[in-house]
A and B are shown apart, each in its own frame.
Chain A
Amino acid sequence: MAFFFDLFVNGLMIGSMYALVALGFVLIYKATSVVNFAQGELVMFGGYIAAALLVLYKLPLAVALPVLLGSMIALGFIVERGVLRPMVGQNVISVVMVTVGLAQVFQGAAALLWGAQTKNIPLPIPLEPYVIWEIYLSPVNIAAAVVSGVFMVTFVWFFRKSRMGIAMRATANDQQAAMAVGINVRMVFALSWAIAGLAAALGGVLWGNLIGVDTQLALVGLKVFPAVILGGLDSVPGALVGGLIIGAVESVAAGYVDPYVGGGTKDFLPYVLMILALMVRPYGFFGREIIERV
Chain B
Amino acid sequence: MTAQLEIRGVSKSFGGVQAVSRVSFDVQQGEILSIIGPNGAGKTTLLNCISSVFHPETGAIVLDGRETTRLAPPRVAALGVARTFQNIALFRGMTVVDNLMLGRHIHMKNGVFRSMLYWGPGRREEVAHRQVVEDIIDFLEIEAIRKRPVGSLPYGLQKRVELGRALALHPKVLLLDEPMGGTNHEEKEDMARFILDVNDEWGTTIILIEHDMGVVMDISQRVIVLDLGAKIAEGTPAEVKATPQVIKAYLGTKATV
Contact = CB atoms under 8 A, between A and B. Distances in A.
B90 A174 contact: yes
A158 B112 contact: yes
A173 B92 contact: yes
Interface in B86-111: 89-94, 101-103, 105-106, 108, 110-111
A183 B105 contact: yes
A184 interface: yes
A179 B53 contact: yes
B93 A181 contact: no
Given A178-B91, A179-B77, A181-B106, 6 more contacts: A163-B105, A163-B111, A177-B89, A179-B53, A182-B169, A183-B105
B199 interface: no
Contact of B102 (A164, A170, A176, A184): A170
Interface string B20-37: 000000000000000000
Interface string A172-207: 011011111111111000000000000000000000
A19 B111 CA distance: 28
Interface in B40-91: 51, 53, 72-74, 77-78, 82-83, 85, 89-91
Interface in A149-174: 158, 161-164, 166-167, 169-170, 173-174
A175 to B, nearest CB: 9
A180 B51 contact: yes
A162 B109 CA distance: 11
Contacts of A181: 77, 82, 102-103, 105-106, 165, 168-169
B93 A173 contact: yes
B103 to A, nearest CB: 5
Interface of A: 158, 161-164, 166-167, 169-170, 173-174, 176-186, 288
Given A162-B112, A163-B110, A180 B82 contact: yes
Contacts, number: 77
Top 9 A-B residue pairs of the complex, sorted by shortest distance between their CB atoms = A182-B77, A182-B106, A177-B89, A173-B91, A179-B73, A176-B89, A182-B74, A184-B74, A162-B112
B115 interface: yes
Contacts of A182: 74, 77-78, 105-106, 169
A260 B69 CA distance: 70
17 contacts: A161-B115, A163-B108, A163-B110, A166-B102, A167-B102, A170-B94, A173-B91, A174-B89, A177-B85, A179-B74, A180-B77, A180-B89, A181-B103, A181-B106, A181-B168, A183-B105, A186-B72
B51 to A, nearest CB: 7
A163 B51 CA distance: 23
Given A163-B105, A182-B169, A177 B77 contact: no
A182 B52 CA distance: 11
A167 B111 CA distance: 12
A169 B110 CA distance: 17
Band of interface residues on B? 20 to 34
A182 B110 CA distance: 16
A180 B112 CA distance: 22
A162 B91 contact: no
B55 to A, nearest CB: 13
A166 B104 CA distance: 12
Nearest to A187: B74
A166 B95 CA distance: 13
Nearest to A176: B89
A174 B103 CA distance: 13
Contacts of B110: 163
Given A158-B112, A163-B110, A174-B92, A180 B105 contact: no
A163 to B, nearest CB: 5
Contacts of A167: 102, 105
A178 B169 CA distance: 12
B65 to A, nearest CB: 21
Nearest to A175: B89
Given A180-B82, A181-B169, A163 B115 contact: yes
Interface in B108-128: 108, 110-112, 115-116
Contacts of B108: 163
A181 B103 CA distance: 5
A83 to B, nearest CB: 21
Contact of B85 (A176, A178, A288): A176
A35 B73 CA distance: 26
Nearest to A165: B112
A43 to B, nearest CB: 25
Contacts of A183: 74, 102, 105
Nearest to B166: A180
Contacts of A161: 115-116
B73 A180 contact: yes
A168 B71 CA distance: 21
Name the residue in A162, A178, A180 with the highest tally of chain B Cβ atoms < 10 Å from its Cβ.
Answer: A180
B149 to A, nearest CB: 11
